[in-house]
Structure 1
Amino acid sequence: MSAARYTESDVRRLAGPRSYERGLGYVDAVGPLHVDSRRISARVQGTERYSVALEDEDGLRAACTCPYGEDGHFCKHCVAVALTALREADRLPALREEAVMRDAALDTWLDGLGRDELLRLVRERLAEDADFKNKLALRVAAAGGDTSAVRADITALLDPADFTQYGYIAYEDAPGYAAQVTRAAQAIRDLAADGHGAVAVAVAREGIRRVVGVYETADDSDGSIAEAAEDLERAHLAACFAAPPDPDETAQWLIDHCLGDGGEYLEVEPADYREVLGVQGLAALRALAAEAHRRNPSGSAERSLLESLARAVGNLDELIAVRAASLEANGYTHLTIAEELDAAGRPDEALEWAERGLRHAAAEDERPHRGLVDHLAAHYARDGRPADALTVRRDHFQSDRSLHTYRALRTAARAVGLWDTERPPALEQLRVDAEGNRKRQWGGAVLIDALTDDADFDAAWAAAPGLATADQLLRLADASATTRPAEALAVYTRQIESCCRHTGNGTYARIADLLTKARACHEELGTPHDFTAYVARLRTEQKRKRNLMRILDHRGL
């Protein structure tokens, strides 16, 4: 069984830099972790004691009872619990196993309860949880055949009025509305399962239209409404399977959705409806799509629809014809066609299209798409044509001198034993580029990255003055700390001094990381006492930063 199913990068991305930095200071305030098969929960002592729940089965999600968390944000308390779970990752499998055993024991207990005891438990839940009560009320209405009541309840769930206090759905209100849309989707599934599939189809289409309209007045930056809308569309498809609607009418609905405003906000894959449409409906849909494309041959929605239908019927040549009618200048379209042909077991045609894409990019005076070059070079290598692969890589390096193209050139040249011949002119070109761009380096000179990647550290340190950025120097220091500890230590020390001019738990964690690296350099140099003195001096100078002192203590620095 796996441990944590997410990474620290996931936490940082979901929280944002501000909440992430604040969360670092709350790690010590996290109580015991409670883990089950899908959820990790704990209490965090903040201004008050807050409850945090993480779900990490299909991507990391979090909820917290603090005001910021209740608005749907991944707050500092969520960060603290998520990081605590990562640090205790080795314990998670055992805790999950214990949770499975507890769940099994609970199931056994429930199986042994009588009818009256179960009813008492349900009634207690109904009295405590209004949301649970509403869900059951929907099931009762559907089971009783009162479809008009169910329809009204679903319509109410999709009404955004309670979330549009400013005339639109604000970012902080989007998750609340999304939750209601998800409930509506489940109600539609229940309606179809209870034998009212035709009504469920109609209600789902009304709901999709309503939610699409909401997008125009909603800040859905976190994607919660989009995700709920996709669930609504899946509920519609399930209803269609439960009670297949008229195929011609369904074809028209799909066309109207995909080519109207709905297609812009909620992507529906017509191929998913193939069984629902049947032969008649699929033919009708293809005819409608072809006519729409004839009227608007440059429309991306029309082209995408034709591609989807070609995939639905398994007609690769038709798919290629659609794509070939609108070729991108850099050869990317050629690449997608080549990939489709390769997947279909037609490698000769795939190679022809990839080569054609390279020629097309040259004719358009465009830098070829990187993926196209990678695809073509891999084809040559598989076909036993390493010299051709090297030629392609060399030409690409000439037009796009980056670390990626340098690495690719190195791999191709080594395959034919020519790297010693290819490397000097390639480095010379990078050196000329670096000198010419000395005053406008953004990501730093590619020359430094290439030499570091080659593990030619002496040459990289020699070229670094005036060319390397701070990030490049850090990467170089990390790569060569054991062989060039004095140079690496100087880089780490400068970065520590720079970080000390700023505040924030993220900065403090970075200082601790750099100090750890600096300690390793001192050990290589045989000067551990100098490091001890340096840390003592830094602690004295920064003693007012209590969170920094706490982090240093935690790291043993």
Structure 2
Amino acid sequence: MARKVVGFDEDDLRALAGARSFERGLGCLDAVSGLEVGEGSVAAVVHGTDAYEVELTLGGEEGISGWCDCPYGREANFCKHCVAVGLTVLRRAKAIPHQQAAARARSSTLEAWLSSLSRDELLALVREQVAEDRELRRRLELRAAAARSDLGTVRDRIVALTDPRPFARYGYIEYGDASGYARQVAEAASALRALTADGQAAQAVGLAEEAIRALGEAYGEIDDSDGVVGEAVAAVAEAHVEACGVARPDPDRLAEWLVGTVLDDSNDVTDLDPLDYADVLGPSGLARTRQLTAEALRRRPSGWAERYPMERLIKAAGDVDAMVALHAQDLDPSGATHLRIAEELESAGRVDEALAWAERGLRECAAETYIDGRLVDYACARYAQTGRAADAVAVRRDRFRLERSLAAYRQLRSAARAGDCWEAERAAALATLEKDARRERGGRYGGPVLIDALLDDGDLDAAWQEAAGRADDRQWGRLADLSRETHPTWALGVYLRLVERSKEPTGDRAYEHLAGLLLAVRDCHRALGTEDAFTLFLADLRRELKRRRKLMSILDRQGL
């Protein structure tokens, strides 16, 4: 019934938040206050480490979305605070439609009232708001100046709107002030677009360029964790593109401005794309842009600011050989650049050259402990496609000898099975891992890869033989999990040892882990027919840890 009323249910909240955040949201229900219901949204405050503002959008058939200003929520996650507000809405589901209707009625009443006011009454209302709201006054002053073509005032207002100093209380703009600054920058972008619409595109071009320079210099001193300032600056850049499209400035001058701005070391935010200006630049302007970028690239071959626009220009021209030459100037020791070249060539249908570049990357990076795994995957995939299984095995073998990781072992196994030679390759690989294991010390953490490989192969007997004095707790747990049905006595001994080690840590995650181990202990006792022993063991443990109320709650929930 709740779904028909508010458009979502608990399952939707759990799907959006994940099991962990959903469970934590259950614990925040009492912290929700100030629930405010609008036509299509609800807002509230959730009190925790701080007072967090939450807004949920009720999208009807589109479902529900949420925003929260807690650190986790600012990363676009549906956090526990969103869950708590959503659950609060579900608890009040019967009242929500009435509150939404009331919100619609208030909006309708306001609209009708405004429509009924005379011109003088509306002016009085606007003047009253302008006197109380400095931000509104500035926005209206800017629009008025633009309407009167008062370019001096417009310029002064845009300069003021993009000036970070009023927000930089300690020499930089803190996170809490970034949104206010972003609103001003967005208003500057609106003013620039208005100038263009009013037939003053040439003036808008110049003012936008001034704003872009100022914003690029200021951005490095702003905590823009949410990206709101970056979005506003992008709107200014879009206003510049729009103005150029109308004013049609000189292509060479525009090219010089573009390249100079992109390569300006003080520009920390404005990622201008020369292709956005392709129509205005025309063939001559694009050629000039490419020439200037090439000159800058010769002075600093590895500079990202120089390489990015050159890549875009070359890509647009469809010049594969020029792209290969560009990448070849600065080959990354991980092989990532070799891979990019191979992909460019393959997309152009030059598959043999593409594979040759991939093989070159493998040779030139052969001694590197780290190599871009995508390059290895690329070469092996091409070998598989052309029936060169032995070459794929050789590549995977070489990487395994350098990396000695479970992932490298798995990749070697896959390639060797495809080449029908896994038995011999496995023996050699395990011998290598055995040598490593003899040099390593066992302990609770960082067990040898040898045991992981044996477990991954399903060779449990060999894994048990190697585990003593070598395996870490994670490996012991995995070994016990895989052996619970076939060797319950052995598994029980492991679990009991891990339970003892898990008594000391505290916190939800530690308690959930301990509960999982106890469930495994119970399964072993059931398989051995010794349930009474487990009952006594569990009772003793609960008495020992009875002061940990959260742990007791988790054990109760698990039926322990």
Q: TM-score range by the shorter chain?
A: 0.7 to 0.9
Alpha-carbon spacing, 1:146–1:390, altered in 2? closer, same or farther (3 Å): same
Shift of 1:270: 2.6
% identical equivalent positions: 45
Deviates more, 1:166-175 or 1:451-460: 166-175
**Separation in 2 of the partners of 1:183 and 1:527?**
74
1:276-321 CA-to-partner distances (Å, cap 9, x unmatched) read: 3221211110111122223334544333332232113221211111
Q: Which residue of 2 aligns with 1:278?
A: 282
Shift of 1:46: 5.5
SS of 1:168's partner is coil
Count of residue correspondences: 532
1:100-131 CA-to-partner distances (Å, cap 9, x unmatched) read: xx89x969x969976844989x9799799886
**Separation in 2 of the partners of 1:541 and 1:47?**
31
Shift of 1:338: 0.3
Does residue 414 of the first structure (1) align with residue 456 of the second (2)? no
Does residue 80 of the first structure (1) align with residue 83 of the second (2)? no
Deviates more, 1:471-480 or 1:336-345: 471-480
Shift of 1:377: 0.3
Shift of 1:49: 8.2
The residue type paired with residue 81 of structure 2 is: V
Name which of 405, 416, 425 aligns with 2:428: 425
Does residue 371 of the first structure (1) align with residue 357 of the second (2)? no
Q: Which residue of 1 aligns with 2:218?
A: 214
Does residue 325 of the first structure (1) align with residue 336 of the second (2)? no
Deviates more, 1:321-330 or 1:458-467: 458-467
**Separation in 1 of the partners of 2:213 and 2:256?**
14
Shift of 1:254: 1.8
TM-score by length of 1: 0.76
Does residue 351 of the first structure (1) align with residue 355 of the second (2)? yes
**Separation in 2 of the partners of 1:217 and 1:286?**
31
Q: Which residue of 2 aligns with 1:15?
A: none
TM-score by length of 2: 0.75
Does residue 315 of the first structure (1) align with residue 319 of the second (2)? yes
Q: Which residue of 1 aligns with 2:159?
A: 155
Shift of 1:241: 4.0
The residue type paired with residue 53 of structure 1 is: E
**Separation in 2 of the partners of 1:176 and 1:10?**
35
Name which of 430, 450, 458 aligns with 2:461: 458
Aligned 8 A contact 2:442 2:469 in 1: no
Alpha-carbon spacing, 1:223–1:46, altered in 2? closer, same or farther (3 Å): closer
**Separation in 2 of the partners of 1:547 and 1:271?**
58
**Separation in 1 of the partners of 2:204 and 2:134?**
24
Q: Which residue of 1 aligns with 2:68?
A: 63
Aligned 8 A contact 1:72 1:175 in 2: no
Does residue 395 of the first structure (1) align with residue 398 of the second (2)? yes
Q: How does 1:463-474 map to 2 (within 5 A)?
A: 463-474=466-477
**Separation in 2 of the partners of 1:423 and 1:222?**
49
**Separation in 1 of the partners of 2:531 and 2:293?**
74
Shift of 1:380: 0.9
Q: Which residue of 2 aligns with 1:304?
A: 308
RCO higher in structure (CA 8 A, sep ≥6): 1
Structure 1: runs of 5+ lacking an equivalent: 13-19
**Separation in 2 of the partners of 1:250 and 1:553?**
71
Aligned 8 A contact 1:23 1:78 in 2: no
Aligned 8 A contact 1:274 1:312 in 2: no
1:458-511 CA-to-partner distances (Å, cap 9, x unmatched) read: 333432333333334444455555555555555555555545434444444544
Shift of 1:424: 1.8
SS of 1:44's partner is strand
The residue type paired with residue 257 of structure 1 is: T
1:418-457 CA-to-partner distances (Å, cap 9, x unmatched) read: 2223212212211211222337997432222222222333
SS of 1:52's partner is strand
Q: Which residue of 1 aligns with 2:252?
A: 248
The residue type paired with residue 271 of structure 1 is: L
RMSD over aligned Cα atoms: 5.0
1:205-264 CA-to-partner distances (Å, cap 9, x unmatched) read: 333322322244345566554455445444444444454443222211221122222555
**Separation in 2 of the partners of 1:540 and 1:251?**
77
The residue type paired with residue 213 of structure 1 is: E
Shift of 1:374: 1.0
SS of 1:417's partner is coil
Aligned 8 A contact 1:25 1:547 in 2: no
**Separation in 2 of the partners of 1:216 and 1:10?**
38
Aligned 8 A contact 1:200 1:239 in 2: yes
Aligned 8 A contact 1:4 1:85 in 2: no
Alpha-carbon spacing, 1:507–1:379, altered in 2? closer, same or farther (3 Å): same
**Separation in 2 of the partners of 1:9 and 1:204?**
44
Does residue 202 of the first structure (1) align with residue 206 of the second (2)? yes
**Separation in 2 of the partners of 1:422 and 1:467?**
24
Shift of 1:542: 3.6
**Separation in 2 of the partners of 1:517 and 1:378?**
41
**Separation in 2 of the partners of 1:37 and 1:481?**
55
1:498-532 CA-to-partner distances (Å, cap 9, x unmatched) read: 45434444444544555555555555555555555
**Separation in 2 of the partners of 1:483 and 1:130?**
76
Q: Which residue of 1 aligns with 2:4?
A: none
Deviates more, 1:328-337 or 1:488-497: 488-497
Aligned 8 A contact 2:44 2:53 in 1: yes
Aligned 8 A contact 2:34 2:44 in 1: yes
SS of 2:221's partner is coil
Alpha-carbon spacing, 1:535–1:320, altered in 2? closer, same or farther (3 Å): same
Aligned 8 A contact 1:52 1:81 in 2: yes
**Separation in 1 of the partners of 2:263 and 2:174?**
27
SS of 1:261's partner is coil
1:391-428 CA-to-partner distances (Å, cap 9, x unmatched) read: 22222222222122211111111213222232122122
Deviates more, 1:1-10 or 1:521-530: 1-10
Does residue 267 of the first structure (1) align with residue 259 of the second (2)? no
Alpha-carbon spacing, 1:110–1:431, altered in 2? closer, same or farther (3 Å): farther
The residue type paired with residue 386 of structure 2 is: D
**Separation in 1 of the partners of 2:215 and 2:328?**
35
Q: How does 1:9-48 map to 2 (within 5 A)?
A: 25-26=27-28, 29=31, 44=46
The residue type paired with residue 311 of structure 1 is: K
**Separation in 2 of the partners of 1:552 and 1:191?**
67
Q: Which residue of 1 aligns with 2:3?
A: none
Aligned 8 A contact 2:444 2:473 in 1: no
Larger radius of gyration: 2
The residue type paired with residue 258 of structure 2 is: L
**Separation in 2 of the partners of 1:38 and 1:476?**
52
The residue type paired with residue 456 of structure 1 is: D
Aligned 8 A contact 1:179 1:228 in 2: yes
Name which of 384, 387, 392 aligns with 2:387: 384
Structure 2: runs of 5+ lacking an equivalent: 1-6
